[in-house]
């Protein structure tokens, strides 16, 4: 059987597509900063270094697990640093690295666009939801 349906082509294309997808820098960046708590976290650390406890209080909406997980991911990617000060009790500080700081202007651009256009999105959304069906 040499018949190739659309489904077949899709399956065949998936692997190579996945490769291209994850290789694409933009997608990788979005994968990273798309995590739910990354934006808030970076925003908070932009103000200066923070201790773990500070973050759990400031970002009260996130569970401990999510916070720790997000911090680990960002640390792994070199966007933030984690400094342990041996003492009793232990003290851990998180701060933006140079790489992390270089990302802030990018976020600022996103913020600009978002603030300027949020109204249009809202009204588009409302129009879509209330249109005749």
Partner DNA sequence: CAGAATCCGGAAGGATACTG
Partner DNA sequence: CAGTATCCTTCCGGATTCTG
Provide the binding-site residues for a second copy, judged by CB under 8 A: 6, 9-10, 12-14, 17-18, 21, 24-30, 32-34, 39-40, 56-57, 59-61, 63, 75-79, 99, 102-103, 106-107, 109-111, 113-115, 117-118, 120-121, 123-125, 127-129
Q: Which of 57, 100, 54, 55 is nearest to 81 (CA)?
A: 100
| Partner from DNA, a second copy, none contacting 133, C-beta within 5 to 8 A by type | none
Contact 42, 103 (CB under 8 A): yes
83 in contact with DNA (CB under 7 A): no
Q: What is the spatial distance between Cα 94 and Cα 117, in angstroms, rounded to a whole number? A: 33
H-type helices in 24-97, by residue range? 25-33, 38-45, 52-58, 64-76
Measured in Å, how far apart are the chain's first and last C-alpha atoms? 44
| Partner from DNA, a second copy, none contacting 49, C-beta within 5 to 8 A by type | none
Measured from the Cβ of residue 31, the count of other Cβ atoms closer than 10 Å reads: 13
Q: Which is nearer to a second copy, 83 or 106 (CB)?
A: 106
Q: Give me the 93-132 binding string for DNA, x by CB under 7 A, dash otherwise.
A: ----------------------------------------
Among 33, 41, 45, 71, binds DNA (CB under 7 A): 71
């Amino acid at each position: 059987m040499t018949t190739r349906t659309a489904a077949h082509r899709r399956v065949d294309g998936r692997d190579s597509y996945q490769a291209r997808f994850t290789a694409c820098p933009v997608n990788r960046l979005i994968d990273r900063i798309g995590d739910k708590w990354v934006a808030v976290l970076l925003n908070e650390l932009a103000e200066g270094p923070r201790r773990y406890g500070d973050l759990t209080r400031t970002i009260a909406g996130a569970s401990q697990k999510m916070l720790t997980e997000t911090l680990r991911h960002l640390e792994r990617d070199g966007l933030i640093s984690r400094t342990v000060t041996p003492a009793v009790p232990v003290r851990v500080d998180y701060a933006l690295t140079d790489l992390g700081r270089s990302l802030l202007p990018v976020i600022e651009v996103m913020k600009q666009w978002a603030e300027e256009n949020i109204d249009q999105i809202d009204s588009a959304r409302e129009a879509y939801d209330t249109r005749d069906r």
